[in-house]
Amino acid sequence: MNARQPARETGQTLTHGIPRREHVALSGVFAMQYAAVGLTMMLPLILARRGLQAAEIGFLSAIYAGAGAVTQVAMGRLSDALQLRRPFILLPSLLIGAAYALLASDRPYTAYAAIYFAAGACFHTSVTAVTAMVADWSSQGHTASAFAATRLWGSVGFVASLAALSPWLDSDRLVIRGTVIFFALAAAAAVPAREPARHVHVAADISSSARRLFSDPQMALFLGVYLLFKVSESASMAFFALLLDSLGGSRQVVAWALVLNAVCEIPLMRWAGPLSERLGRRPVILVALLVLPMRLLAYSQIPSAAWVWPIQAFHGFTYAFMLVAAVAYTNDRAPQNLRATAQGMLGMANALGMAAGPFAGALLSDAFGLRGLYAALAGISLCAAVVFVLFGAESRKALHGRTGNFIARLASRPVVSLPDHRAHYDEERLATDDR
């Protein structure tokens, strides 16, 4: 029996195939997680006040993401093997809060590194599990819309926490305590979410399919492109508060610039799901890849913090479009029994990019200053766009031919075609659904 049939048979209200109960619960998890993330954007300023240099702060961000990079595939495969998602959301969320609580007092740099490692491993595990659960519940062919409709509440939480707490963000204690509380609430929000019914697969089948997933040339290419994208994006965000601070911006200016980011991404995130289902994943990904270099180059040229506002308006075309389309692209290419493994691979690429970005940013900012850093990041992100234009294919055959104009059809095809395992996965998915 398909995981989505029970909801339909009992007449439950569905949101893109997700029962209303699970949609509300998982939306709440995202909202609380990213409400906490909004406050963690102030942590570089707290650490700078304690005497850490920009490069040291960048290395901590690299440790945070690096911890996620080394755990994501293993956690995803464990989740698939156990056929469980909720424990991988709930327990890590509680552990993240406990780790951040240790930042309440000044500590040696090695202690900061350990805290960031633990928090990073837990955060990326939790996000991967939420994403996999959304994919489990979503109806066939509507994963992008289901994910967008759920994940946009993360942006709402991000906006709400920074906007509501903006007058008190100068308080280090409030920032840290608020972060701990929001992660505890994320764990609480996961409690009502039920595990979707799934077919049982033996471990040998999972292991064999996972090896095929890793050997998919198009999956490998996309993850490489996504990695370069995240290197550029994560480095820009890791040093964003420090850039505005160097240009005379206060914590409130930093907070409201981030709020504008999230406000602009919410409608575009909602739009990105249906758009990627109508036009294909590739055109949506291309928009994100082409807009990001222009944003980063603009950051490198602004003379004061006041010039940041128009640049922020384009954040949704990079972050929201890539986030939704990347999750859908990855889910398209994976067999049904390996969705968490595939999302773990995407999470690994995301975490590797978020580790390499701040690390490279620390070195580049020391060598060329903050303006030079953003110019270099623009060049890295442009490389990702060129590679995907030349070699990146659409994620599923079914998406070809849906577009009605020449430009859209052109955007759906690579210049150079690579071997494609998509047909094998389509057959395997159909065989799985028929069992």
Burial (CB < 10 A; 0-12, 13-18, 19+), residue 380, is buried
Average pLDDT, the chain: 80
Rounded Cα–Cα distance for residues 413 and 422 (Å):
15
Residues of the chain above pLDDT 70, percent: 79
At 364, phi and psi to the nearest 5?
Answer: -70, -40
Which of 323-327, 345-349, 400-404 shows the highest mean pLDDT?
Answer: 323-327
- Whole-number pLDDT of residue 337: 66
Taking only the tens place, the pLDDT of each residue in 386-409 is: 999 888 778 765 454 444 444 455
Q: Which residue type sits at 362?
A: A
Residue 339 has pLDDT above 70, yes or no: no
Domains of the chain: 11-427 (1.20.1250.20)
Rounded Cα–Cα distance for residues 77 and 152 (Å):
26
Q: Mean of the pLDDT values across residues 353-376? A: 86
Cα–Cα distances in angstroms (integers) from residue 128 to residues 249, 271, 327, in the given order = 34, 22, 10
- Whole-number pLDDT of residue 10: 43
- Whole-number pLDDT of residue 379: 93
More confident residue, 6 or 202: 6
Residue 421 has pLDDT above 70, yes or no: no
Taking only the tens place, the pLDDT of each residue in 163-202 is: 898 888 889 999 999 999 999 999 999 999 888 765 333 3
Alpha helices, H only, 300-421: 308-312, 315-333, 339-391, 406-411
At 375, phi and psi to the nearest 5?
Answer: -65, -40
Q: Mean of the pLDDT values across residues 113-133? A: 89
Place of tokens 């968490």: 340
- Whole-number pLDDT of residue 424: 47
Sequence length of the chain is: 435
Rounded Cα–Cα distance for residues 244 and 237 (Å):
11
Give the pTM.
0.67
Q: How confident is the model at residue 2 (pLDDT cuts 50, 70, 90)?
A: very low
Cα R_g (the chain), whole angstroms: 21
- Whole-number pLDDT of residue 207: 39
377, 371 in Cβ contact below 8 A? no
Collect all residues with Cβ–Cβ distance below 8 Å to 351 and sequence separation of at least 6.
65, 66, 67, 68, 69, 70, 72, 120, 124
Residue 417 has pLDDT above 60, yes or no: no
Cα–Cα distances in angstroms (integers) from residue 34 to residues 211, 231, 407, in the given order = 33, 20, 36
Rounded Cα–Cα distance for residues 415 and 402 (Å):
19
Q: How confident is the model at residue 431 (pLDDT cuts 50, 70, 90)?
A: very low
Taking only the tens place, the pLDDT of each residue in 80-97 is: 778 788 899 999 999 999
Q: Mean of the pLDDT values across residues 91-104? A: 94
Cα–Cα distances in angstroms (integers) from residue 5 to residues 27, 131, 143, 280, in the given order = 21, 20, 16, 26
Residue 325 has pLDDT above 70, yes or no: yes
- Whole-number pLDDT of residue 394: 82
Low-confidence winner among 243-257, 258-272, 413-427 (lowest mean pLDDT): 413-427
